[in-house]
Structure 1
């Protein structure tokens, strides 16, 4: 049950994004990196389970960002040859000189790529630019139920907003983890501003938000399918549903990052140990400087990675930030 939290409420960082990727821990995943040509302008991790090599979160040198969370949409037929992660790639991989805007990209998704048979998802995407009199370009929110480019919801269009999203439609306030996450992010921002703490201290506090574990432990003989209903209660999901790792509190799980993951499409997923696999914090300051930090809790073998492979950190300046 992934979660995305974002805010435009910090005076020094007009865009903040936090992400937990929850998965079956044996799903092979590449750590965040600059992609190979012709997409060397894209920074993000990649799912190595499927040939589409999609991603759940990425950002480009020219400030385009996209993030996807999926959810089960009962009764909807899903095409096996389509990848929801490929929708993120479709936006990020657009050449930097492209004339596409939000409307033309949504039209491409609906009319050309086809999004109504890929399974339930919410995709946030848009350009990051300097605010102008408190206004921002904002992010578009698209789902598998979007029928046209008209009326697509935009969020983060002004300073002072905070939003959360998990494995349900955007705006679903019935998920405790989303409501709790929004509250904790707002508190972390306020504390950092009030105390005038340095960036590194702030980043640590944001990872603390992503590591909050309020998940009730499974009852004896409770099936994993039944237990999954509890996952909406906790921002971080400790390892559950397998014999390989004993479930333990989040503060005992070492946050880590980027480990080499084998390119192995034959790995069996969908059973075994499930939990928060990766955590990401993205800060963008008022001058368009990006700090992207990814921590990998578990590698493709469902084990914590070596200490020297735990954290990937990339910094760069957004091209055209003041455009």
Structure 2
């Protein structure tokens, strides 16, 4: 994913997460669904058909994980796909802390990433540049393609929108609308992540429109205090073409 805002242990709910996955449109992807064919019927996630991993997923038991890339054109690619990190946690049994600690021994296998792994009781975070797993306290957080809570305009706007709705009775459609903000920000508010000004402008939008590259999916993941799980995914094609919505309550 490229943009995530999430509320952890807020308003009586363990997790409420919103995220956009931005990717090149030709890259083969399977929409969210259960991984029955792979022998993991408990896992609900989309699938990158090119590398075999995923960017966001949850299991019936409430294990969840999400990933964003760190945007650094000079960084080494790494021999393994970052999507493996989400998949391997969700199909494994290690605790969040143990899993991230294990990963720190092999950070050179992956290009830069931010990784969230959790259960209903705990949520841990790892930034590959910092190389130090840490638990997250209750609060509202944001992740894009830098570090946790970096002050990128689109990230701050999404976090504000999520926080303003935590105590309201808004439904999933209203929450997902927050992810459809396609405005680009002024040059003096843009980060310098090494991709050039034209791309910085394009990537400054929460919802990226484009023929070749753009937002491919918007997702909502909510885990309630009683253990029930809601997962909604909206798919998009070039230039924001709507491809449909799927939802599950577990």
Q: What's the TM-score, normalizing by structure 1?
A: 0.68
Q: For residues 87-118 of structure 1, what are the alpha-carbon distances to aligned partners after superposition, in whole Å with 9 as ceiling and x for unaligned?
A: 11110110xxx3x223321232122xx22242
Greater share of strand residues, 1 or 2?
A: 2
Q: CA separation in 1, counterparts of 2:100 and 2:223?
A: 25
Residues 9-48 of structure 1 aligned to structure 2 (within 5 Å): 11=11, 13-36=13-36, 37-48=38-49
Q: Which has the larger radius of gyration?
A: 1
8 Å contact kept, 2:62–2:229: no
SS at match of 1:40: strand
Note closer, same or farther for the CA distance 1:202–1:45 as it changes in structure 2 (3 Å cut): same
Residue 142 (structure 1) aligned with residue 126 (structure 2):
yes
* Aligned positions, number: 242
Unaligned runs of 5+ in 1: 130-136, 218-223, 243-272, 317-323
- Post-superposition offset of 1:228: 1.4
Residues 221-232 of structure 1 aligned to structure 2 (within 5 Å): 225-232=196-203
Q: CA separation in 1, counterparts of 2:134 and 2:149?
A: 11
- Post-superposition offset of 1:49: 1.9
Q: For residues 182-201 of structure 1, what are the alpha-carbon distances to aligned partners after superposition, in whole Å with 9 as ceiling and x for unaligned?
A: 111112224x2xxxx3xxx4
Task: Report what 2:76 is aligned to.
Answer: 77
- Post-superposition offset of 1:303: 8.0
Of 97, 100, 111 in structure 2, the residue corresponding to residue 106 of structure 1 is 100
Q: CA separation in 1, counterparts of 2:95 and 2:241?
A: 40
Note closer, same or farther for the CA distance 1:303–1:141 as it changes in structure 2 (3 Å cut): closer
SS at match of 1:209: helix
Unaligned runs of 5+ in 2: 187-194
8 Å contact kept, 2:13–2:225: yes
Runs of 4 or more above 6 Å deviation:
none
Residues 162-173 of structure 1 aligned to structure 2 (within 5 Å): 162-173=140-151
Task: Report what 1:254 is aligned to.
Answer: none
Superposition RMSD in Å: 2.5
Task: Report what 2:208 is aligned to.
Answer: 237
Q: CA separation in 2, counterparts of 1:166 and 1:141?
A: 13
Note closer, same or farther for the CA distance 1:117–1:8 as it changes in structure 2 (3 Å cut): closer
